[in-house]
Amino acid sequence: MLIQAAVFVAGLVALVFGASALVRGASRLALSFGISPLVVGLTIVAFGTSAPEMAVSTSAVLDGQTDIAVGNVVGSNIFNVLFILGISALVAPLIVHVQLIRQEVPIMIGSALLLLALGLDGRISWWDGALLMAVMLAYTVFLIVQSRRESSAITEYDTALKPPERDAWDARWPVQMALIAVGLVLLVAGSDWLVSASVVFAQALGVSDLVIGLTIVAAGTSMPEVATSLTAAFKGERDIAVGNVVGSCTFNTLGCVGLSGLAAGSLGLTLAPSILTFDIWVMLAALLACLPVFLSGREIARWEGGVFLAYYVAYVAYMILASKHHDALPVFSSVMLGFVLPLTIVTLVVSTLRGRTPNPPP
């Protein structure tokens, strides 16, 4: 167990250094090639930090552990929105770019609805996986083309990140690419070490594969997003901090499930009943919660981040109580459904209505 603890710590260290290198290289590269930091966060950073989810889900499918494969994706999306946005907003209130509200969040929610529609029959077939992958590729190309067309009219908000001085050590694009590559390698390696240690800990507690996928594995493979968004928030790279989460959720839904469906072949991915009746709806609710939060003044305030974080803790607590069939589960569920959820909905509605006061676009 001591060896696993050492592997866990090594994974965390690799994630911190990897995230720092990735954020620095990606933000510099964005300006060098005329691509806005938001789009870099939605593509390069988001897709790169989601590489562990894709690797773990595909490997799980090939090993016949489809519960971990699907649970990893659904759990990662829940973790990304509730935990990462929550803790990042607690570090510093996050200003939300208008493009996220008008375009990226609806696409993120649409991808989740597409996954739900495809999985209503209890499985993700090879053709379903191919469709998800095709949508992901089309979305990526669209983002890049859109950013290049708008590069000549980048707003002052987008250009708040000044290009590096000519004599700066990271001013040249080969160095920036090297930073991104090193960052991704450290992120993937660190995530792998973290997940392997976490799974051993979870199995020692007698938790099922599905619960492991939804919680431990999902949180472990999302550690790159945690490190990247927190690093970006501390450095003031708020486009990357928020865009990374939104882009990762879209990539997880389309790319990870799509590739896993292709890897499953003719058998397809079988979805556990609890995924369809509970967890995927929690994921959809978390994604939908982004709209009123983002619309309330176009920022994620600290109190909203605290609400997101509290809901993630409540979700994990529910999963643990349910897996153990604990006597406290009925009381916990009643309090959440009868008091906490209605109060949160009312608060978000009031906050959204107040946030309709015109603000200068970011």
> Tens place of pLDDT for every residue, the chain, 362 residues?
788 888 888 887 887 788 778 777 877 777 677 677 667 766 777 777 777 777 778 877 887 777 878 888 998 999 998 999 889 888 887 777 777 778 888 999 999 999 999 998 888 999 999 999 999 999 888 877 776 666 544 444 344 444 445 556 667 778 888 888 888 888 778 877 877 777 777 777 677 767 777 887 788 778 778 887 888 778 777 767 787 788 889 988 998 899 999 988 888 888 888 888 888 888 988 888 887 777 765 777 788 888 888 888 888 888 877 776 666 667 666 666 655 565 566 555 655 555 544 444 44
| Structural domain for 91, as ranges | 2-354
pLDDT value of position 134: 95
| Cβ 251 vs Cβ 46: under 8 Å | yes
What does the alpha-carbon distance between residue 286 and residue 23 come to, in Å, rounded to a whole number?
26
Note whether residue 130 is domain-resident.
Answer: yes
CATH code (residue 10): 1.20.1420.30
Note whether residue 361 is domain-resident.
Answer: no
> 299 forms bridges with which residues in the sheet?
95
Note whether residue 360 is domain-resident.
Answer: no
Residue recorded with tokens 């493009």: 99
Note whether residue 359 is domain-resident.
Answer: no
Note whether residue 83 is domain-resident.
Answer: yes
pLDDT value of position 138: 92
Q: Which residues contact 113 (CB under 8 A, 6 or more apart)?
A: 284
Note whether residue 94 is domain-resident.
Answer: yes
> 123 forms bridges with which residues in the sheet?
270
pLDDT value of position 271: 87
DSSP state, residue 338: I
Count of domains observed in the chain: 1
Structure pTM? 0.78
Rounded to the nearest 10 degrees, the angle between the axes of helix 66-78 and helix 280-295 is 20
For the record, the structure tokens of 79 come out as: 């973790």
Q: How far is CA 328 from CA 248, 298, 343, in A?
A: 34, 38, 22
| φ, ψ of residue 123 in degrees (nearest 5) | -155, 155
What does the alpha-carbon distance between residue 247 and residue 242 come to, in Å, rounded to a whole number?
9
